[in-house]
Amino acid sequence: MTTSDPDGLLAEQLLRLTRRVHRIQKRHLEHRDLGITPAQSRLLRTLAHWGSPPRMADLAERLEVVPRAVTTLVDGLEASGKVRRVPDPANRRVIRIELTDDGRGALRELRAARRSAAEEILAPLTADQREALGGLLDTLIDGTPVRSC
């Protein structure tokens, strides 16, 4: 990329940063020896935000994956005792997924691993730079342009 293509350069930088973040988070997860894949980690984090156990279809929709992918993730997490399938009290044909105590413990470890990874990634930045980066990321996530005065 050349400076004559600043948006292309920014896109490349964002992709490289994303790959670096994933690599560092994966390393921090492996050091904690949780036996949880990044996709399983995402499912656990998603489950934690639900007030009551969701249906598999709800998880698939929230994760933006096909239901079969959720089934595979839940199978692995259930085998390791992190989640369990429970019948819906209102409709016995519906199965819901809930976190177990082991799952909640794994979530605590996952959060700690993510914090450690973030600290490593953000270490070169000053507090002011971190604040500025946070504002820029919020803008990119929200998709709302920043208006200057």
The tens digit of pLDDT for each residue in 35-66 reads: 888 889 999 999 999 989 999 999 999 999 99
Q: For residue range 68-77, what is the model confidence (pLDDT) as tens digits?
A: 999 999 999 9
Residue 33: what pLDDT? 80
pTM of the entire predicted model: 0.74
The rounded distance, in Å, linking the Cα atoms of 149 and 11 is 27
DSSP 123: T
Residues 130/106, Cβ–Cβ less than 8 Å: no
Residue with the two structure tokens 């490289």: 16
- In this predicted structure, the answer to whether residue 4 has a pLDDT above a threshold of 90 is no
- In this predicted structure, the answer to whether residue 2 has a pLDDT above a threshold of 80 is no
User: Quick one: tokens of 129?
Assistant: 């730079």
- With 0-12 / 13-18 / 19 or more C-beta atoms within 10 angstroms meaning exposed / middle / buried, residue 89 is exposed
Binned at pLDDT 50, 70 and 90, residue 147 comes out as low
Q: For residue range 79-92, what is the model confidence (pLDDT) as tens digits?
A: 999 999 999 989 98
Helices 56-63 and 67-79 cross at an angle (nearest 10°) of 110
Residue 103: what pLDDT? 96
